A and B are shown apart, each in its own frame.
Chain A
Amino acid sequence: MKPLQKYLLKRVAAYIVTLYGAVTAVFFLFRLIPGNPIEAFIGQIMATQFTQAELARKLVEQYKAEFGLEGDLFTQYVNYMRQLLRGNFGVSLYGFPRSAQELIFQSLPWTIGLLGLSAVISWFFGVVLGALTAWKRESKVGAVLAGLAVVFSQIPYYIIAVTLVLVFSYMLGWLPATGAYNPSLSPGLNIQFILSVIKYGLLPALSLVLTQAFGWFLSTRYLTISLLGEDFLVYAEAKGIKQSRLFRRYVFRNILLPQTTGLGISLGFMIGGQIVLETIFAYPGMGYLFSRALGMLDYNLISGILILQSFVVLTANLILDLVYPLIDPRVKYHE
């Protein structure tokens, strides 16, 4: 076999094994938690609606079948995997009688919109400013930004969030403190609704951008400065290549590679949502959904969210590994 084929085969096999392991781990981890949510749920219904024991037993059986909780743990596992392969996460307890995937796909756009946009904006500003200010080392702007970055990059985003809410919602009253859009509007593709979404998203997005952008700024600045002493740059400069070209073609291209990888990985992690941020702002994304599901021990919804997250993270890593050698000629396919 050629090294390329061998590499591809090994990498894809590792991907499948890891994914299978992750799904299995998620399935068993949460079912081993003490407590029986379905019994509690049914008990509640029975107390209010049914009094006959015979009827109640039938109901329990029916619900167990519906939630995939029939038989022993192993039978449940086999059933679950079979359903999963058909893209079915099972019925949700929290949003009963809707399915887990229906709830997930309802929350996903909010999380992707908020976290994805914030991540891309932070990345763009952090990387461009980090590289430029490191390139022009004598600039005062770089020193000031670096000082700010030392302070801001490690302050937790939720503390920034609380501070922003305190100032902009409570003291100034300019922006709403919770929610994703004005509840009096009906969701749809009209200007009014979109403006409302932006207005409500501004504070949560800003809390993320402030911390993340400074993080990207520092790491890019570090990469750039480490690069500046390299021989190939001295040589290129000696050849008489213009400064702007030197920056774009020789410096920035080298920075872009590792930083793009970083962005890819952080975008993969984004799918699970920001539990704390979404809870603070009551933002209807994946993190908020997860904390709700956990509160009710909604197996199918919890597992669904975590499995989707593992799937996206692992797939993003696979794609990066496969594409990386194409972008960077120095990377070889065999170890």
Chain B
Amino acid sequence: MSRVRNSSKIIVSLKRVIGILGKNNKLKIGSSIFLALLVIGYISPFINRLRLGDKRPDALAVGRRWEQPSIKFPLGTDDYGRDIFGMLLIGTMYSLSIGLLAGAIATLIAVTIGFISGYKGGITDHVLRTFTDTLMVVPLWPIYMVIATYTRKLPLETVAILLGIFSWPGAARVIRAQVLSLRERAFVKLAKLNMLNDLEIVFTELLPNVAPYIVIGFINSAMGAIFAETGLRLIGIGPPLLPTLGYLLSITIGVGMLSVRPYVVAAVVAVLSLIFVSLNLINIGLEEEFNPRLKKVTGL
């Protein structure tokens, strides 16, 4: 019985999401750009296999050194003969993976802490809030730099986990505030009168209503993680075997592409900018939909 109700609920909310997507221009543009980046990023291993055979684009001497742009190497090669176009493609995949994974981890922590804090209230709330607020003012860059400097050869998952662990407080705060205000609404009180237990209330009554804020928190955390990873890699800190976009930007600048082939740097900068702009468009679009007051702020 309740399963039937739940699945019909999901269909209704899916329809709602699609309806909103079609209506809001920012959401439409943002999610199409992001979807395109995702698709290009994740099929890039296959594209590169078609282009280069078994060789990885970031392997040494895929082509000759400093090869000019050609059909085989659309952005040429660098001083080690690495294929820059191929690295741009897989870099997109690696950077997005770090963002999505770190965002997921951060969201999991944020949802747990935000819900417990907002729903339980009292001393639990006080302790969790103090913890969240403290973590928010801790300078993260020095910590990231120390970890990155003294742990070499980290796999992608570990990097994402490390970034995720530190980037949840903002989302937790927003979720807590939402839960706090929902907790006092009539429908939650009604559920309590109907003898639903806390978990049931959280999952069937609260979670669907907080969902948009969870998505916004997820995107913010993902952007924060990509921002930190790219920045650190740009100044040459981080695991050298992880060919993200930040790493690519760092090596192309490092070998002097700024003066020799500025368009190569411009291409990397463009892809990175697209990632941030598209995610931000989705975020602002969502906020406008669920907080109509905001519509006047950026409404175009």
Interface residue ranges, A against B (CB under 8 Å): 29-30, 33-35, 134, 137, 143, 146-147, 149-151, 153-156, 158-159, 162-163, 165-166, 169-171, 177, 218, 221-222, 225-226, 269, 272, 275-276, 279-280, 290-291, 294-295, 302, 306, 309, 313, 317
Whether the pair A154, B223 counts as a contact (CB closer than 8 A) is: yes
Whether the pair B26, A166 counts as a contact (CB closer than 8 A) is: no
Q: How far is the CA of A218 from the CA of B284 in the complex (A)?
A: 11
Chain B interface, >50% SS class? helix
Pick 17 A–B contacts, CB within 8 A, sort by A: A33-B146, A33-B150, A147-B300, A153-B280, A154-B277, A155-B277, A156-B231, A162-B265, A162-B269, A166-B258, A170-B259, A272-B139, A275-B235, A276-B235, A280-B235, A291-B145, A294-B146
Q: How far is the CB of B32 from chain A (nearest CB, A)?
A: 16
- Residue in contact with A156 in the complex, picked from B142, B146, B227, B237, CB distance below 8 Å: B227
A269 and B139 in contact, given A155-B273, A276-B234 (Cβ under 8 angstroms): yes
In the complex, residue of chain A having the shortest beta-carbon distance to the beta carbon of B145: A294
Interface bracket on B: 35 or more
Q: How far is the CA of A240 from the CA of B268 in the complex (A)?
A: 56
Q: How far is the CB of B121 from chain A (nearest CB, A)?
A: 15
Q: How far is the CB of B173 from chain A (nearest CB, A)?
A: 15
Chain A residues near B139: list those with CB within 8 A: 269, 272, 306, 309
Chain A residues near B149: list those with CB within 8 A: 294-295
Q: How far is the CB of B27 from chain A (nearest CB, A)?
A: 12
B298 at the interface (CB under 8 A from A): yes
Interface residue ranges, B against A (CB under 8 Å): 26, 137, 139, 141-142, 145-146, 149-150, 223, 227, 230-232, 234-235, 237, 249, 253, 258-259, 262, 265-266, 269, 272-273, 276-277, 279-281, 284, 293-294, 296-300
- Residue in contact with B234 in the complex, picked from A155, A158, A225, A313, CB distance below 8 Å: A158
Q: How far is the CA of A306 from the CA of B140 in the complex (A)?
A: 11
Chain B residues near A225: list those with CB within 8 A: 293, 296-297
Q: How far is the CA of A149 from the CA of B294 in the complex (A)?
A: 14
Q: How far is the CB of B167 from chain A (nearest CB, A)?
A: 14
Chain A residues near B259: list those with CB within 8 A: 170
Q: How far is the CA of A115 from the CA of B253 in the complex (A)?
A: 24
Whether the pair A306, B142 counts as a contact (CB closer than 8 A) is: yes
